[in-house]
């Protein structure tokens, strides 16, 4: 019997290729398994047993959208399907759906910042197979809390090879890509520029020659008391969490001596951020100095905002995944299953953070979606 109501989510998941052998013993449609799995993760389920139990509890609700010819799949069926589905295919269709249902907001310069960073799922190692914990590199639109893509690697050190793969999945035209020092590589900068974007890359000792050149240049400029007006500054002060943080962002046009080699494509600006944090209870002060390179013009305010926006992937995504989704406790061993579940986690964070109808944190919204079918319908199904 055909489902009674249409859903953009169901239509998107119906387009995911089914990797299973098509035979008479195939009892559950792929779209049924994926739809229930996504909604279950959105509502707080953390493993396949919980996903199956959630499906049984909400069977009447799911029958509004799915055929479920043989009822709710077992937890073993959920496990086998998520181990077989291609993560890139699932990502392609779900992210396209997410971007289609994104609530429109007023555009701003910050909307163009795409933060790329990695996160290790600490308990997904498999000693028997000699596999370490899975490391995922994600792209995150910090201003609107939108997941743009992910690529899995087996070690943090492999981020250098994973980032170019992730960049190929993204539309970077007119975007500003921010990456920490691991991604400060000539090839990555060139790839971003070739795709029509700009970059702001953290610079550390992993690029010793450039790091020394930038440090020496700023030291020379500061010794001159900025007499020639080359160095521009933007000051930001934030108060919260028991401390006051002051950040001074200094920017200067990259000198010809550094640009002459042409090794860093489109390099235009050098950036130094001096951060001072004062604990209001103890009056203890801590300082930090960080360098960046960028293809953007030397506009202090814009570069300061881009650097600050990069922290959105840590605070708005990774921290939420650990606290509200218990992702560091994920004990799955199969690499495809882990990657697919992690993708569902990241899409769920995006949906929950974008929703403004409930004034609560992500963890509370997640529980409400499990308790209240109207809220689950509002979040994910968008029925016509």
**Per-residue pLDDT tens digits for 107-166:** 455 558 999 999 999 888 888 888 888 899 999 998 888 999 999 986 656 788 899 999
Residue 268 pLDDT: 96
Residue 109 pLDDT: 52
Task: Show the low-confidence residues of the chain (pLDDT under 50).
Answer: 1, 107, 383-384
Residue 211 pLDDT: 95
Nearby residues of 319 by Cβ (< 8 Å), 6 or more positions away: none
From CA 285, how far away is CA 275, in angstroms rounded?
A: 10
Determine how many CB atoms are found less than 10 A away from the CB of residue 181: 17
Residue 126 pLDDT: 83
Residue 156 pLDDT: 59
Question: Could you report the per-residue pLDDT of 52-73, keeping only the tens digit for each?
Answer: 999 999 999 999 999 999 999 9
Distances, alpha carbon 119 to alpha carbons 4, 116, 247, in Å: 41, 10, 26
Nearby residues of 107 by Cβ (< 8 Å), 6 or more positions away: none
Query: Nearest Cα to 290, choosing from 306, 271, 276, 315?
Result: 271
Residue 331 pLDDT: 84
From CA 101, how far away is CA 89, in angstroms rounded?
A: 19
Q: Where are the domains of the chain?
A: 8-102+355-381, 109-318
| pTM for the structure as a whole | 0.90
Task: Detail the DSSP E strand segments found in 53-104.
Answer: none
Determine how many CB atoms are found less than 10 A away from the CB of residue 276: 14
SS3 141: strand
Query: Nearest Cα to 244, choosing from 272, 211, 282, 215?
Result: 282
Residue 384 pLDDT: 43
Residue 157 pLDDT: 61
Sequential DSSP letters for 180-232: -GGG--HHHHHHHHHTT-EEEEEE-TTSHHHHHHHHHHHHHHHHTTTTTS--E
């Amino acid at each position: 019997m055909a489902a009674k109501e249409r859903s953009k989510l169901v239509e998107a998941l119906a387009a995911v290729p089914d990797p299973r052998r098509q035979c008479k013993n195939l009892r559950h449609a792929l779209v049924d398994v994926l739809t229930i799995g996504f909604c279950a993760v959105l509502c707080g389920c953390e493993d396949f047993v919980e996903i199956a139990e959630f499906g049984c509890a909400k069977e009447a609700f799911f029958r509004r959208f799915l055929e479920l010819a043989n009822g709710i799949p077992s937890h073993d069926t959920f496990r086998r399907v998520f181990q077989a589905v291609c993560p890139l295919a699932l990502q392609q269709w779900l992210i396209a759906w997410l971007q289609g249902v994104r609530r429109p907001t007023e555009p701003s310069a910050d909307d163009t910042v795409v933060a790329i960073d990695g996160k290790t799922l600490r308990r997904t190692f498999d000693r028997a197979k000699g596999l370490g914990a899975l490391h995922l590199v994600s792209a995150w639109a910090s201003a609107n809390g939108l997941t743009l893509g992910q690529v899995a690697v087996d070690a943090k050190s492999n981020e250098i090879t994973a980032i170019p793969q992730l960049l190929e999945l993204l539309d970077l035209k007119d975007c500003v890509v921010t990456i920490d020092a691991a991604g400060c590589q000539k090839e990555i900068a060139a790839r971003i520029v070739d795709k029509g974007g700009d970059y702001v890359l953290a610079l550390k000792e992993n690029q010793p020659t450039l790091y020394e050149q930038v440090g020496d240049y700023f030291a020379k400029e500061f010794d001159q008391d900025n007499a020639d007006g080359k160095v521009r500054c933007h000051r930001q002060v934030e108060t919260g969490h028991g401390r006051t943080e002051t950040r001074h962002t200094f920017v200067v046009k990259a000198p010809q001596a550094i640009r002459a080699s042409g090794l860093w494509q489109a390099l235009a600006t050098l950036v130094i951020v001096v951060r001072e944090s004062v604990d209001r209870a103890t009056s203890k002060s801590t300082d930090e100095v960080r360098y960046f390179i960028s293809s953007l013009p030397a506009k202090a305010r814009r570069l300061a905002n881009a650097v600050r926006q990069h922290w959105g992937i840590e605070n708005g995504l990774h921290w939420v995944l650990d606290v509200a989704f218990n992702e560091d406790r994920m004990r799955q061993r199969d690499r495809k299953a882990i990657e697919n579940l992690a993708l569902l986690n990241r899409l769920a964070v995006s949906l929950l953070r974008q929703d403004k109808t409930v004034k609560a944190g992500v963890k509370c919204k997640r529980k409400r979606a499990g308790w209240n079918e109207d809220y689950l319908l509002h979040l994910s199904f968008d029925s016509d």
